[in-house]
Amino acid sequence: MIALLQRDLALSVRAGGGFGLALVFFLIVVTLTPFAVGPDSAILAGIAAGILWIGALLSCLLSLDRILALDYEDGSLELLATAPIPLEAVASVKALAHWLTTGLPLTLVAPVLGVLLNLPGPGYFWLTLSLAIGTPALSVIGTFGAALTVGLKRGGLLLSLIVLPLYVPTLIFGAEVARRGAAGMAPTTPLALLAGITLATIALLPFASAAAIRINLR
Partner 1 sequence: MSLWEYANPRRFMALSGAVLPWVSVGAIAALVIGLGWGFFLTPDDFRQGSTVKIIYIHVPSAMVAINAWLMMLVTSLVWLIRRHHVSALAAKAAAPIGATMTLIALITGAIWGQPMWGTWWAWDPRLTSFLILFLFYLGYMALWAAIDNPDTAAELTSVLCIVGSVFAILSRYALVFWNQGLHQGASLSMDAEENVADVFYWPLLVSIAGFVGLFVMLVLIRTRTEVRSRRLKALLQRERMA
* Binding residues vs partner 1 (CB under 8 A): 144, 148-149, 151-152, 155, 158, 161-162, 164-166, 168-169, 172-173, 176, 190, 193, 197, 205, 208, 211-212, 215-216, 218
Helix (H) or strand (E) holding 61, with range, is helix 41-62
Cβ neighbours of residue 48 closer than 8 Å, sequence gap 6 or more: 114, 117, 118, 119, 120, 123, 182
Nearer to partner 1, 4 or 212 (CB): 212
Closest contact distance (angstroms) between CB of 208 and partner 1 is 5
CB 73 within 8 A of CB 63: no
Nearer to partner 1, 100 or 152 (CB): 152
Closest contact distance (angstroms) between CB of 187 and partner 1 is 13
| Residue 83 per-residue DSSP state | S
Nearer to partner 1, 27 or 158 (CB): 158
Give CA 165 to chain center in angstroms.
14
Closest contact distance (angstroms) between CB of 39 and partner 1 is 26
Decide: helix, strand or coil at residue 150: coil
Closest contact distance (angstroms) between CB of 207 and partner 1 is 10
Closest contact distance (angstroms) between CB of 47 and partner 1 is 15
Nearer to partner 1, 112 or 203 (CB): 203
Nearer to partner 1, 14 or 218 (CB): 218
120: left (phi over 0), alpha (psi -120 to 50) or beta: beta
Decide: helix, strand or coil at residue 178: helix
Q: Which of 43, 91, 37 is nearest to 67 (CA)?
A: 91
